[in-house]
Amino acid sequence: MTSGAVECLELIGKSFLDPGDTVLVEGPTYLGAIMAFRSFEADVRAVPLDGEGLDPAALGDEVRRARPKFLYTIPDHQNPAGVSLASDRRRAVIDLARRHGFLVIEDVAYRELGFEGARPPCLWSLGPDVVVQAGTFSKTFFPGVRLGWAVGPAAVVDRLTQAKQLTDQCASPLAQRLLEEFGRQGHLDRQITGARDLYARRCALMMRALERHMPERASWTRPRGGFFSWLTMPEGANSRELARLGMEQGVAVVPGVPFYPDGRGTREVRLSFSKVADEDIEEGVRRLGTVLHRAA
């Protein structure tokens, strides 16, 4: 048990990264992962995403060029893009990892929050010999609990366990006991079901609002789970400026640049529908669209 997915990334970095090692990530990706890997002086490089997730062909090209120590990926309802990795691509990623000898770090923070019943196989189930799966209860229990987990090859888990003991001995026993009892009584399963319904409804509200209020040349992802949609603005727009102007109108978005390790994202922003009340989504998107129309 760890204190969450971020701590797991820190432990992996502490255990396996040497200065100058290459780490591949999705472009865009979770900004906390970029920060964690760079804290160990890794060379972090981004592999492109499209509507079906990580591009295996581009990944193969980068693997052959960079010989990475590992790949970090969020295959389900990705943060920040909101896309999921297609089933055939999951097998292609595992094949590449086995063939070229790198480790895959699978972040499943949003896997339980899909809006549809069927789920593709997790990467760990396809390649337990080359995958470390890292998860968190912050999205399904409550954020302040700071509990997560990691599973993977025995030799890797042994090293992570040693690093964990050196870091803080163990995760909070009180938090672990609360989680155990909450799950034992069936509350966690019910809460996850309710969360899926809530986020699916809010996502649908945001998609409809974007259709009504965004400029014609803007585009966005259509999530099937999770919290986020990734908005690509028309040519000439600037994500940092949009974020600044949006705040003046009472609307918060996150500029795209921090989600890349290489300075991209100047025309992209992350939209989140997780905490916004149903009745505020339409108005928030309308205000953002007004700002963007002016900028475009």
Domains and CATH numbers, the chain: 5-182 (3.40.640.10), 199-295 (3.90.1150.10)
Task: Please state the rounded mean pLDDT for residues 263-278.
Answer: 96
Q: Determine the pLDDT at residue 183.
A: 92
Q: How confident is the model at residue 8 (pLDDT cuts 50, 70, 90)?
A: confident
Task: Please state the rounded mean pLDDT for residues 116-133.
Answer: 95
Q: How confident is the model at residue 117 (pLDDT cuts 50, 70, 90)?
A: confident
Q: Where do we find the tokens 């760079």?
A: 38
Q: Determine the pLDDT at residue 126.
A: 98
Q: Does 166 score more than 80 pLDDT? A: no
Q: Determine the pLDDT at residue 179.
A: 87
Q: Does 105 score more than 70 pLDDT? A: yes
Q: Does 3 score more than 60 pLDDT? A: no
Q: Determine the pLDDT at residue 174.
A: 81
Q: Determine the pLDDT at residue 178.
A: 86
Q: How confident is the model at residue 76 (pLDDT cuts 50, 70, 90)?
A: very high
Task: Please state the rounded mean pLDDT for residues 215-234.
Answer: 96
Cross-strand partners of 214:
none
Q: Does 4 score more than 80 pLDDT? A: no
Q: Where do we find the tokens 């500029």?
A: 255
More confident of the two residues 227 and 165: 227
Q: Does 2 score more than 60 pLDDT? A: no
Task: Please state the rounded mean pLDDT for residues 71-95.
Answer: 97
What is the overall mean pLDDT for the chain?
93
Task: Please state the rounded mean pLDDT for residues 91-109.
Answer: 97
